[in-house]
Chains A and B, each alone.
Chain A
Amino acid sequence: MFEFCTDPTALPDWQWMACYLTTGKHMAFYNAFGTVLLLLAITAPAALALGLAGATAARGRLWPVRAIGRVYISIVRGVPDIAFFLFFVIALDQGFEWLRHQALCPDWDQPIRQGSDFLVCPEAKLPLTTAPEAVHQAYGFFLAVISYAIVFGAFTANVLYGAMNTVPRAQMETAEAYGMTPRQAFWRVMFPQMWVYALPGLSNVWMILIKATPLLFLLGVSDIVYWARELGGAKVAQFSDYPHPDWRAWYFLFLLVFYLAFTAVSERIFARLTRRLSRGQATVAGEALRKGAA
């Protein structure tokens, strides 16, 4: 990075530090923050959409729809995310490849399972073996997004389901009395109001999602915790120009600060949202807002 970095052993402390903190490995560490934020930015809306679908399904009027919604919510919520990532992602990947194999290679005569090997025709591989590494990375990232969305969608669905049931019953009755159809009553009365009840639960799910990102490494995506561990571990002079003892505590301290800052920002946004959504609601917080305005 800097010109004076060619021989780190001879440097004074501050220059050594400057060189150390700008090695390619550290750059990968800094980039990993981008990866994590990108994952969160894609996963959050996906999980919210899945959650909304799950919650409405669980409240559905037709029993098969209701069953699907409830089974999804209770089964996926039941599996710890680590266990889920340790086998589900390989299964998901094999599932995709099997489907492509059926579609693309109808003439393939060899068995797909040979002993413990899983062999599809080369055209069905996802991504293709010849694809550049970036495509492989992107595919791994994509699988991660799907997995996270499925897991956290179930928790979101549960929160939204609870919130829908908490909207004061009298309001729904009033809506019916005004001659609204169930669909109208849902979209005009329940949907706008349920968020204030859902928000504390949603913010908790979000906080837990933020902290589930260290599991990314199980999916082959190198995240900040992986790099922090990797960089913090003791290094000997033989394999690194920057030998140092076990510095993991410092790296984890840095991650702690990052996560706390991220949480603080999230909390401010959620507080604003709560304030915005409490306006005009018949709750203690809504009342406090009304009094404050008066």
Chain B
Amino acid sequence: MTCGETFEAYALRAIGIGERLLPQTDFTLCQQFVLIGSGMVWNLYFAVLALSFGFFLAAAVAVARTSHNPLIRKPAEWFVFLFRGSPLFIQFFFAYYLFVLLPREGIDINLGFVEITADTRWLTRAWAGALIVLVLNTAAYSAEIFYGALNSVPKGDVEAADAYGISGWTRFRRIVWPTALRLAWPAYTNEAIFLFHATTLVFFSGFPTRGQQGDALYYANYFADKTFNPFVPYPILAGYFILGTLAIIWGFGRINRHLNRHLPQAVRQPIRFRPNYIR
């Protein structure tokens, strides 16, 4: 099998397209690159969707935490505490544990005029169940970051807004939130990377894989298990993740520059190296 054929056979194996049987003998570097790369589809899927949904949920929770009304503040605090305070694998365990308990034939919801059946079976599938857990998890961590940032907004900014007669929602939207986001951004970048990495846990200690359709770590593990040589598949996996992480850093860096564009940039002085020994 040439590398081109391998690519055709396995490039989309992780989502069930292509050759059904995984390579069994004579493992080539090309197979490892292609299959582990194919598994990255799942890591990207989980990371992108969890971050997108999680961002808005986190923003809402962070604002709720600053509320003076305990009925709004307390639930937000408990949510953050629960999901930030427990390891992801325990969250996966209990989520899966609960999802399989749901009735297989679906839940009948009686709306009075019409009865609908909510299908719950897909919740035990990783694409839905694990995604829900990841969204809640990242929302809790991000909410904490945003909450910290909301408290670090320079008081001068808020006073200036008041002086201009900007208040309420407008003040939040135009002044407080952009500044908070700017302050939170480096930490939020970290969180995005952590979440991206945490997607490797979905099949490693969370949900079952079906039909050998797994994420990048699943395939890396497969090769390490077959070749008994961890020094090839795991560095390949690491390479893919470094690329992904660099993409996140680059993308988030662009946004960061955008958020900071109005600030005076640090003026880099040309390095003047003046050794002291010539007196």
Which residues, 221 to 279 on B, are CB-close (under 8 Å) to A? 224, 228-231, 234-235, 237-238, 241-246, 249, 263-264, 266, 271
Question: Contacts of B94 on A, CB cut-off 8 Å?
Answer: 249, 252, 256
Seed contacts A78-B243, A200-B145; 6 additional CB < 8 Å A-B pairs: A79-B245, A83-B237, A83-B241, A211-B86, A214-B87, A255-B90
Would A158 and B186 count as touching, CB distance under 8 A?
Answer: yes
Would B186 and A285 count as touching, CB distance under 8 A?
Answer: no
Would B183 and A197 count as touching, CB distance under 8 A?
Answer: yes
- Say whether A81 faces chain B, with CB atoms less than 8 Å apart: yes
Q: A81-B197, A86-B224, A86-B234 are in contact. Are A159 and B190 (CB under 8 A)?
A: yes
- In angstroms, Cα B243 to Cα A225, docked, is 31
23 A-B pairs with C-beta separation under 8 A? A74-B249, A78-B238, A79-B241, A83-B234, A83-B241, A86-B224, A86-B230, A87-B230, A90-B230, A116-B229, A158-B186, A158-B189, A158-B190, A200-B184, A204-B145, A207-B84, A225-B87, A249-B94, A255-B90, A264-B81, A278-B151, A282-B154, A285-B152
Would B231 and A87 count as touching, CB distance under 8 A?
Answer: yes
User: Which one of A203, A211, A252 lies within 8 Å of B88 (CB-CB)?
Assistant: A211
Would B85 and A263 count as touching, CB distance under 8 A?
Answer: yes
Would B86 and A77 count as touching, CB distance under 8 A?
Answer: no
Would A197 and B152 count as touching, CB distance under 8 A?
Answer: yes
- Say whether B153 faces chain A, with CB atoms less than 8 Å apart: yes
- Say whether B193 faces chain A, with CB atoms less than 8 Å apart: yes
- Say whether A30 faces chain B, with CB atoms less than 8 Å apart: no
Which residues, 193 to 214 on B, are CB-close (under 8 Å) to A? 193-194, 196-198, 200-201, 204-205
- Say whether B156 faces chain A, with CB atoms less than 8 Å apart: yes
Interface-lining segment among A38-46, A129-137, A161-169: A161-169
Which residues, 109 to 146 on A, are CB-close (under 8 Å) to B? 116
Would A77 and B187 count as touching, CB distance under 8 A?
Answer: no
- Say whether A91 faces chain B, with CB atoms less than 8 Å apart: yes
User: Which one of B187, B241, B244 lies within 8 Å of A200 (CB-CB)?
Assistant: B187
- Say whether A287 faces chain B, with CB atoms less than 8 Å apart: yes
Of chain A, the residue at the smallest CB distance from B204 is: A82
Question: Contacts of A196 on B, CB cut-off 8 Å?
Answer: 152
- Say whether A96 faces chain B, with CB atoms less than 8 Å apart: no
Which residues, 157 to 186 on A, are CB-close (under 8 Å) to B? 158-159, 161-163, 165-166, 168-169
Would B81 and A260 count as touching, CB distance under 8 A?
Answer: yes
Q: A61-B271, A82-B200 are in contact. Are A87 and B235 (CB under 8 A)?
A: yes
- Say whether A292 faces chain B, with CB atoms less than 8 Å apart: no
Of chain A, the residue at the smallest CB distance from B245 is: A78
Interface string of A186-216 (1 = CB under 8 A from B): 0000000000110111011101100100100
Least CB distance from A130 to B in Å reads 27
- Say whether B23 faces chain A, with CB atoms less than 8 Å apart: no
- In angstroms, Cα B244 to Cα A118, docked, is 33
- In angstroms, Cα B153 to Cα A4, docked, is 63
- In angstroms, Cα B95 to Cα A249, docked, is 11
Determine which residue in B147, B149, B230 has the highest number of CB atoms from chain A within 10 A of its CB, and name it.
B230
- Say whether A106 faces chain B, with CB atoms less than 8 Å apart: no
Interface of B is mostly: helix
Would A283 and B87 count as touching, CB distance under 8 A?
Answer: no
What interface size band does chain B fall in?
35 or more
Of chain B, the residue at the smallest CB distance from A286 is: B155
- Say whether A284 faces chain B, with CB atoms less than 8 Å apart: yes
Binding site for A on B (CB under 8 A): 81-82, 84-90, 93-94, 97, 141, 144-145, 147-156, 158, 183-187, 189-191, 193-194, 196-198, 200-201, 204-205, 217, 220, 224, 228-231, 234-235, 237-238, 241-246, 249, 263-264, 266, 271
Would A252 and B93 count as touching, CB distance under 8 A?
Answer: yes
- In angstroms, Cα B191 to Cα A263, docked, is 17
Interface of A is mostly: helix
Question: Contacts of A155 on B, CB cut-off 8 Å?
Answer: 190, 194
Would A74 and B245 count as touching, CB distance under 8 A?
Answer: yes
Would A284 and B150 count as touching, CB distance under 8 A?
Answer: yes
Least CB distance from A58 to B in Å reads 12
- Say whether A33 faces chain B, with CB atoms less than 8 Å apart: no
- In angstroms, Cα B231 to Cα A79, docked, is 14
Of chain A, the residue at the smallest CB distance from B194 is: A208
User: Which one of A77, A165, A200, A252 lies within 8 Å of B149 (CB-CB)?
Assistant: A200
Of chain B, the residue at the smallest CB distance from A162 is: B186
- In angstroms, Cα B220 to Cα A62, docked, is 39
- In angstroms, Cα B83 to Cα A207, docked, is 11
Would A259 and B86 count as touching, CB distance under 8 A?
Answer: yes
- Say whether A80 faces chain B, with CB atoms less than 8 Å apart: yes
User: Which one of B185, B230, B241 lies within 8 Å of A78 (CB-CB)?
Assistant: B241
Least CB distance from B244 to A in Å reads 8
Of chain A, the residue at the smallest CB distance from B197 is: A80
- Say whether A108 faces chain B, with CB atoms less than 8 Å apart: no
User: Which one of B144, B186, B220 lies within 8 Å of A159 (CB-CB)?
Assistant: B186
Would A83 and B238 count as touching, CB distance under 8 A?
Answer: yes
Question: Contacts of B190 on A, CB cut-off 8 Å?
Answer: 77, 155, 158-159, 201, 204-205
